[in-house]
Amino acid sequence: MRVHLINPSHVSFGVAVITPRWLYVLAAATPAEYGRPAITDETLEPLDPASIAPGDIVGIGIHTGNALRGYEVGSLARARGATVIYGGIHATLYPDEAHERGDAHAVVKGDGDVVWQRVVADAVAGSLQRVYDAGQVEPDQFLPARWELLPRDRYMWASVQTVRGCPKHCSFCSVWRTDGQRPRQRMPDAVLAEVVELRRQGFRFIALADDNFYPVTLDDLRTADRKKDKQQLHTLETLRAERFELMERLAHLPDDMVFFTQITMEASEDPDFLAAMRRARIRGALVGVEAVTPEGLKDVYKDFNCSGEALVTRLSAFRQAGVHVLGSFIFGLPSDRPETFDATAALAQRAGITFAQFVMLTPFPGTIDFARWEAELASDDTRIAGVPITRHWLIPQAKRPKVYTPHPTMSPDEIRARTQGVWDRFYSLSQVWQRSRCVRSLKARLAFVLVSKLYRQMYANTGIATDSARVARSTQWARWLAKPLRRLFAARPMPELQVPGGPVPGPAA
């Protein structure tokens, strides 16, 4: 009997940008007596069905975007005689769907770190429950990933998690509902141990794969102080102090290391935090800008963000502190108009954003937007390929619409075409070359251009384009570009490296 862990994907690029961390965390949660788990990341290569034998246990992690492929993999595994178990955000939200569509034997809701061991034992004993409700585990129970199982030459960035949960409540996001609004923050020792292990293996680029790396804002502290809520103030100050301790210790790691994270824009108003990020070599951050107008921000319940010139100032503050911004923008908001697309592209360039992604508003399960949209369509029986539109992730990929939410003034196709136009403009050679001035040498500038092109091929053309030839061409391009680029991310292993301030245990058995 073998345990398989599978990250499903319809598209495989041969090389991936970021390691899917959950695969290696569940590998750590798999009891040693069942041997080394077989890990398949389909963003690299499709699953080889022959690798699954009768009696094997197959764990499949799904989010809404890859649920359909996950169900195909599950059905295939069950047909080969395996026991099929689903987990991940989508399975947490729709456990029955995984049974009905994906031939599940069991579904795990919530964090798998602790419960997976029991699930595997139950599967072996033939006493699986239909659903395991694992809930949210505490930070001292987050498992370190088994990085020694990572293939050497496939990923550009490794990923380490420092905090789960986000105190905000953006309408298009499910994180605060599934991971909770209370930041569950790992202690610096645990984070450092994983980071050091990765650097020992030759990874110098590490994504701090958090919901929100800045869970306590200056405003939160002021509010607790104003309300004279001593308990809350103490909790927030402790969380903040731990962030600073983590960053201070990251700063003592080898100076070729580079970190990237995900953060809210409020961090730009916190000079001490930005300075600590710089010292820690957190050189980049995904910032959810979402919209450049106040109306757009109201649409997504994100009024803690800024718009217009104030937005340019905030985004520029990251840049001035040495933190490159990957700005994330949403198109198709009710207040968007044709001129919003150009205004967004111009602002992104003016604010000195290094990378940007432009996504189309999609009602994802678990979000406020989805609940509202689903209720509005309660009496609408539109079906595509026999699937109700409110279950859009079950529509075969080729027939899936790109835009679902009716817009007051623009057609879905206009939104899609204008979004594609902004990608084309932001990633045009002239604009990319202009932005490449953020690095110094000619070699680094050329690498910047290639990474920008790769990013655009992987995320824009395969996600937005309706033309299947364009999608196929982009996949080929991305495969071709990714291999040589990955080498730029590799570093000489440092097997002797120690955690600043103390020794680190070796890899998990």
What is the binding site for ligand SF4 (CB under 6 A)?
166, 168-170, 173, 175-176, 211-212, 264, 288
Minimum distance between the CB of residue 373 and ligand SF4, rounded to whole angstroms?
A: 17
Structure tokens, 88: 């991940």
With respect to ligand SF4, which residue has the nearer C-beta, 251 or 326? 326
Dist. CA 358–CA 354, nearest whole Å: 13
Minimum distance between the CB of residue 233 and ligand SF4, rounded to whole angstroms?
A: 22
Say whether 45 sits in a helix, a strand or coil.
coil
Minimum distance between the CB of residue 89 and ligand SF4, rounded to whole angstroms?
A: 12
With respect to ligand SF4, which residue has the nearer C-beta, 25 or 170? 170
The region that residue 180 occupies, defined by phi over 0 for left and psi between -120 and 50 for alpha, beta otherwise, is: left
With respect to ligand SF4, which residue has the nearer C-beta, 7 or 262? 262
With respect to ligand SF4, which residue has the nearer C-beta, 288 or 363? 288
Residue with tokens 């932005």: 435
With respect to ligand SF4, which residue has the nearer C-beta, 269 or 424? 269
Nearest to 233 by CA among 246, 211, 214, 216: 216
Report the residue count for the chain. 509
Cα separation values, 178 from 272, 319, 499, Å: 31, 32, 32
Minimum distance between the CB of residue 263 and ligand SF4, rounded to whole angstroms?
A: 9
With respect to ligand SF4, which residue has the nearer C-beta, 8 or 366? 366
Dist. CA 210–CA 261, nearest whole Å: 7
Minimum distance between the CB of residue 191 and ligand SF4, rounded to whole angstroms?
A: 19
Minimum distance between the CB of residue 353 and ligand SF4, rounded to whole angstroms?
A: 17
- Decide if 425 contacts 345 (C-beta within 8 A): yes
The region that residue 322 occupies, defined by phi over 0 for left and psi between -120 and 50 for alpha, beta otherwise, is: left
Nearest to 419 by CA among 346, 340, 474: 340
Dist. CA 378–CA 279, nearest whole Å: 52
Minimum distance between the CB of residue 346 and ligand SF4, rounded to whole angstroms?
A: 24
With respect to ligand SF4, which residue has the nearer C-beta, 345 or 368? 368
Bridge partner list, 330: 359
Say whether 303 sits in a helix, a strand or coil.
coil
